[in-house]
C-alpha cells in the first residue's frame, strides 16, 4: 500500500511523520494544495481577526484559514521571530533575520498572517507568496553575518516561491493596510465555522427567509472520507475512493449510510490515462483544447466536445447560418426525449444523437408520468422529474413509487422518520421532511425540495432550459433560472455576446443589476446576471460506473445530482446554484444572487467569485469534486460570463411570421402524431 493511501486509512498515525518529511515539500506543491483542498478549502470572506486586522472586511476574497486559531498563530510566529532572530521555513531550517521590530515590522507581520490565514489566488487557489515580495523584504532584513557568504536572497526566495513572471502567487501589498471597501450588505457564510458535529454535513439553508424564525444552516448525517480526513459527504451519497493497492486510476465506489459508515465497496474498471488524437494532433489525458470554436477535453482516450455550430466550419453561406447546433432551423416544435429533456425541435434532438424513436412531439412537463399507473396497486405514484446523463440504460423514470407512502396514509402509526430527509413542499406552501409525512397529512405535492420564499406559486414561466413550468417556484425547485414569463414559444439564437436572442414579441425581464456580468444560455432568449460556467462531462465514465454497479446508482448521474453536489461547495448563503444540460451538450452552471433580500453589487460579486471557485475546483480535480461519484465525471470547466450592457435587452430578431410558422408546425406535428395513434 502506498504511503499516500496509508495516510487516509486507519494507518495514518504511523505514517504521518514520514509523509510530512518526504511528500509535503515545496516541489510537491500540487500534492500539498490537494490536501489543503480537503482540510482547508478556499472559502470567501475574512473578518473577526484581532491581530491580522488588515485581512478583515474582505467578503469577496478567498482564504483557507481565516479563523481565531490562525490569527493567534500569526501573533505567536511574530513573537518567536523577534525573540529567536530567525525564521524557519520548510526547506530552510534557520533563516537569520535582523530585528524585525525595526526592519520592516509591518511587512513581517503581513508575512506571518499570510502564512497562517492563507489567502488563495483567485485563478489557481495557490497560497505561495510572490517572489518579488520575498526578495524585497529579505534584501532589507536578512542577517548576512549569520547566514554566510554562500547564501543569496534569490536562492532563498527561489526555494519558497516561483520566479516566473506569469506564475500565480499572493502579493502582500493588499494586506499591508486595511481594506478600503467597507460593505453594508450582508454576505453570510453560515457553515464557515463548522457548527455541526464531526460526522455531520453542514448545509446552508437557502430557503430560510430573513423574516422567519429559522436557522441559516442545518446538519445532516454524513461520512468522513478517511480516518484523518475532514471532508464529510452527506448520507446516501455515492463516493469514489482509491483502491487499497494504491494503483493510480483504480477506484472503489460505495455509498454513505445513515450510520456514518461506507457501504461495501464495488470496484470500477481502472482508468487508463490514454491520450487522444484529433487529426494529426496528440492531446494528453486530462487536457482541454479547442477544435475550431468547440471546447474539447481528452479523458482516458475519450474525446468530448461541445456541439457549437461554428461559422467557419459550417460549410454554408452566412445567410443560411442559424447558430444552432447542426445548423438546425429556428423553429419551435418541442419534443420530449427519453432522458427527460425537452428539445425545441426534432432536429436539435437528433443533433444530440437521439433517434426518432427516442422522443415524442410534446413537452416533458406536459406529460404526466403517473398517467399510465406505472406503480403496483400497493404503491403510490408521485411525479419526480429529472434529466439523466447515462446512455447505457435508456431508463429515466420521472416518478417514484413507494409502499411506505400508502401504508402511512392508511396507518398513521407507521413512522416516516426512518426514511431519508428529502423535503417537499405542498400546494399550501407547507414544508414536509419527506413525501411520507406529506401524504400522511393528505396534502398535494407542489414540488420537491424545501418551500422557497420570494417566488410565485402560480403563472407559467419559461425556463432557460426551454421548458415551460407551471410556476416560478417549480422552476427554481428544479434549479432552473427563469428566461421570461409565460410559456416557452420559441428557441433563441446562439451568440457569444450576452444579449436578447429572440424576437421582440418575447419580453425579457429587466436585468437584476445594470451593467452586470452575465450570460445568455444557448437556446434561451434573455441574458441573465450571474456567474456562468460551462462544464464538460465524460460519458464513458458514467456508463463505466453504471455497468460496474449494475445500473444501481442511476440517480447519481442526473443533472440535478450534479447541481446539488456543486451547490454544497458554495458557502455564501445569498448565492444559489442552478444549471441544466444545454443544446450544445455541456452543463451550464449559473451562480445567482437569491431573491430574498434583493440583489446588490456585493452579492453579485460574491456569486461571481463562487462561480469562479467551482470552475477552479473542477479544473484542478479537487478531491472535493472527484471523491463524489456524481461530480467525478466532470472533466472540464470554463468561465463564460461577461459584461452585459444595458442595451442587451433590445434586439432585432426574427419577425412575428417566424412565431406563427413555428406555432403552425407545432400544431401540425401534434395533429399528425395524434392521427398515428388513432390508426
DSSP string, 84-132: HSEE--SS-S-EEB--TTTSSHHHHHHHHHHHHH-B--TTT---PBPHH
Instruction: Give the residue from 428, 444, 465 showing the smallest Cα distance to 584.
Output: 465
Do the domain assignments include residue 269?
A: no
- The overall average pLDDT reported for the chain is 85
Alpha-carbon gap, residue 618 to 536, rounded angstroms? 10
Residue 539, SS3? helix
Matching residue, cell 495557490: 126
Which residue segment(s) compose the domain that 167 sits in? 46-175
Using the Cα atoms of residue 314, residue 319, residue 325 and residue 331 in order, give the sign of their dihedral: negative
Do the domain assignments include residue 100?
A: yes
Question: For residue 249, is pLDDT > 90?
Answer: no
User: 642 pLDDT band (50/70/90 cuts)?
Assistant: very high
Cell digits for 428?
A: 399550501
Do the domain assignments include residue 62?
A: yes
Do the domain assignments include residue 642?
A: no
Alpha helices in 233-311 (DSSP H): none
What pLDDT, on a 0 to 100 scale, did the predictor assign at position 673? 41
- Asked if 529 and 510 touch (Cβ cutoff 8 Å), the reply is no
Give the residues across from 291 on adjacent strands.
294
What lies within 8 Å, CB to CB, of 131 at 6+ separation is: 157, 158, 161, 162, 163, 167, 169
Residue 670: its H or E element:
helix 656-678
What pLDDT, on a 0 to 100 scale, did the predictor assign at position 633? 95
DSSP string, 210-237: TTS---SEEEEEEEESSSS---EEETT-
276-278/266-268 β-pairing: unpaired
Residues 378-388 have pLDDT tens digits of: 778 999 999 99
Nearest-5° angle of CA 262, CA 263, CA 267?
100
What pLDDT, on a 0 to 100 scale, did the predictor assign at position 664? 46
Alpha-carbon gap, residue 195 to 197, rounded angstroms? 7
Alpha-carbon gap, residue 127 to 301, rounded angstroms? 33
**DSSP category for residue 449:** S
What pLDDT, on a 0 to 100 scale, did the predictor assign at position 395? 85
Q: What is the mean pLDDT of residues 71-83?
A: 94
More confident residue, 15 or 172: 172
What pLDDT, on a 0 to 100 scale, did the predictor assign at position 314? 52
Burial class of residue 161, CB neighbours in 10 A (0-12, 13-18, 19+) = buried
pTM over 0.95: no
Question: For residue 657, is pLDDT > 70?
Answer: no
Alpha-carbon gap, residue 601 to 477, rounded angstroms? 25
Provide the 10 A C-beta neighbour count for residue 354: 20
Q: How many helices (H) and strands (E) does the chain have?
A: 17, 33
Q: What is the mean pLDDT of residues 301-312?
A: 90
- Asked if 26 and 159 touch (Cβ cutoff 8 Å), the reply is yes
Overall domain count for the chain = 1
What pLDDT, on a 0 to 100 scale, did the predictor assign at position 616? 96
Residues 540-588 have pLDDT tens digits of: 999 888 888 887 778 889 999 999 999 999 999 999 999 999 999 999 9
Residues 576-604 have pLDDT tens digits of: 999 999 999 999 999 999 855 556 888 89
Do the domain assignments include residue 96?
A: yes
User: 481 pLDDT band (50/70/90 cuts)?
Assistant: very high
What pLDDT, on a 0 to 100 scale, did the predictor assign at position 547? 84
Give the residues across from 528 on adjacent strands.
519
Matching residue, cell 446554484: 577
Do the domain assignments include residue 80?
A: yes
Nearest-5° angle of CA 79, CA 85, CA 91?
100
Q: What percent of the chain has a predicted confidence (pLDDT) above 90?
A: 54
Question: For residue 60, is pLDDT > 50?
Answer: yes
Residues 362-374 have pLDDT tens digits of: 999 999 999 988 9
Least trusted range by pLDDT, from 75-84, 236-245, 491-500, 576-585: 236-245
Question: For residue 333, is pLDDT > 60?
Answer: yes
Do the domain assignments include residue 493?
A: no
Least trusted range by pLDDT, from 292-306, 308-322, 436-450, 505-519: 308-322
Nearest-5° angle of CA 451, CA 454, CA 459?
85
What lies within 8 Å, CB to CB, of 129 at 6+ separation is: 111, 114, 115, 160, 161, 169, 170, 172
What lies within 8 Å, CB to CB, of 226 at 6+ separation is: 8, 9, 12, 241
Alpha-carbon gap, residue 255 to 248, rounded angstroms? 21
Nearest-5° angle of CA 555, CA 629, CA 205?
75
Amino acid at each position: 500500500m502506498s504511503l499516500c493511501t496509508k495516510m487516509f486509512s486507519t494507518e495514518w498515525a504511523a505514517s504521518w511523520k514520514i509523509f510530512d518529511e518526504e511528500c509535503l515539500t515545496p516541489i510537491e506543491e500540487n500534492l500539498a494544495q490537494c490536501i489543503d483542498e480537503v482540510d482547508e478549502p478556499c472559502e470567501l470572506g475574512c473578518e473577526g481577526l484581532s491581530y491580522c486586522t488588515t485581512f478583515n472586511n474582505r467578503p469577496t476574497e478567498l482564504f483557507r484559514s481565516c479563523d481565531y486559531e490562525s490569527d493567534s498563530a500569526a501573533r505567536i510566529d511574530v513573537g518567536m521571530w523577534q525573540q529567536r532572530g530567525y525564521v524557519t521555513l520548510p526547506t530552510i531550517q534557520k533563516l537569520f533575520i535582523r530585528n524585525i521590530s525595526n526592519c520592516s515590522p509591518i511587512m513581517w507581520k503581513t508575512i506571518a498572517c499570510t502564512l497562517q490565514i492563507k489567502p488563495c489566488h483567485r485563478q489557481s487557489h495557490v497560497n505561495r507568496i510572490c517572489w518579488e515580495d520575498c526578495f524585497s523584504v529579505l534584501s532589507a532584513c536578512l542577517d548576512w553575518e549569520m547566514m554566510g557568504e554562500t547564501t543569496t536572497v534569490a536562492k532563498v526566495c527561489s526555494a519558497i516561491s516561483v520566479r516566473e513572471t506569469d506564475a500565480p502567487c499572493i502579493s502582500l501589498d493588499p494586506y499591508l493596510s486595511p481594506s478600503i471597501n467597507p460593505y453594508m450588505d450582508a454576505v453570510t457564510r453560515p457553515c464557515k465555522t463548522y457548527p455541526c458535529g464531526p460526522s455531520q454535513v453542514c448545509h446552508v439553508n437557502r430557503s430560510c427567509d430573513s423574516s422567519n424564525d429559522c436557522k441559516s444552516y442545518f446538519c445532516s448525517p454524513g461520512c468522513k472520507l478517511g480516518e484523518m480526513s475532514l471532508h464529510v459527504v452527506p448520507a446516501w451519497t455515492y463516493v469514489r475512493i482509491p483502491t487499497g493497492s494504491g494503483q493510480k486510476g483504480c477506484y472503489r465506489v460505495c455509498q454513505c449510510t445513515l450510520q456514518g459508515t461506507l457501504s461495501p465497496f464495488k470496484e470500477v474498471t481502472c482508468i487508463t490515462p490514454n491520450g487522444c488524437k484529433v487529426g494529426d494532433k496528440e492531446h494528453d489525458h486530462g487536457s482541454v483544447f479547442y477544435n475550431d470554436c468547440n471546447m474539447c477535453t481528452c479523458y482516458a482516450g475519450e474525446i468530448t466536445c461541445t456541439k457549437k455550430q461554428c461559422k467557419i466550419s459550417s460549410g454554408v453561406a452566412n445567410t443560411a447560418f442559424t447558430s444552432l447546433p447542426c445548423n438546425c432551423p429556428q423553429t419551435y416544435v418541442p419534443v420530449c426525449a427519453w432522458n427527460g429533456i425537452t428539445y425545441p425541435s426534432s432536429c436539435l434532438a437528433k443533433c444530440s444523437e437521439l433517434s426518432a424513436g427516442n422522443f415524442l412531439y410534446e413537452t416533458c412537463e406536459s406529460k404526466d408520468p403517473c398517467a399510465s399507473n406505472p406503480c403496483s396497486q400497493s404503491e403510490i405514484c408521485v411525479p419526480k422529474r429529472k434529466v439523466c446523463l447515462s446512455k447505457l440504460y435508456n431508463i429515466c423514470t420521472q416518478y417514484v413509487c413507494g409502499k411506505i407512502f400508502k401504508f402511512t396514509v392508511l396507518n398513521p402509526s407507521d413512522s416516516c422518520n426512518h426514511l431519508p430527509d428529502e423535503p417537499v413542499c405542498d400546494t399550501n406552501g407547507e414544508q414536509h421532511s419527506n413525501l411520507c409525512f406529506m401524504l400522511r397529512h393528505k396534502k398535494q405535492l407542489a414540488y420537491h425540495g424545501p418551500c422557497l420564499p420570494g417566488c410565485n406559486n402560480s403563472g407559467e414561466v419559461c425556463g432557460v432550459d426551454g421548458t415551460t413550468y407551471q410556476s416560478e417556484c417549480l422552476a427554481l425547485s428544479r434549479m432552473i433560472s427563469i428566461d421570461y414569463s409565460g410559456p416557452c414559444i420559441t428557441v433563441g439564437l446562439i451568440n457569444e455576446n450576452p444579449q436578447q436572442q429572440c424576437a421582440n414579441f418575447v419580453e425579457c425581464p429587466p436585468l437584476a443589476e445594470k451593467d452586470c456580468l452575465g450570460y445568455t444560455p444557448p437556446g434561451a432568449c434573455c441574458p441573465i446576471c450571474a456567474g456562468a460556467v460551462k462544464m464538460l462531462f465524460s460519458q464513458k465514465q458514467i456508463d463505466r460506473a453504471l455497468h460496474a454497479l449494475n445500473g444501481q446508482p442511476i440517480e447519481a448521474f442526473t443533472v440535478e445530482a450534479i447541481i446539488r453536489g456543486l451547490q454544497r461547495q458554495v458557502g455564501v448563503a445569498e448565492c444559489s446554484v442552478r444549471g441544466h444540460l444545454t443544446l450544445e451538450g455541456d452543463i451550464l452552471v449559473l451562480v445567482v444572487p437569491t431573491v430574498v433580500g434583493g440583489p446588490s453589487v456585493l452579492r453579485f460579486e460574491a456569486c461571481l467569485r463562487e462561480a469562479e471557485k467551482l470552475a477552479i475546483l473542477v479544473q484542478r480535480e479537487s478531491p472535493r469534486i472527484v471523491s463524489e461519484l456524481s461530480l467525478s465525471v466532470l472533466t472540464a470547466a470554463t468561465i463564460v460570463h461577461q459584461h452585459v450592457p444595458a442595451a442587451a435587452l433590445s434586439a432585432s430578431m426574427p419577425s412575428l411570421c417566424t412565431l406563427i410558422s413555428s406555432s403552425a408546425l407545432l400544431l401540425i406535428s401534434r395533429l399528425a402524431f395524434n392521427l398515428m395513434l388513432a390508426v
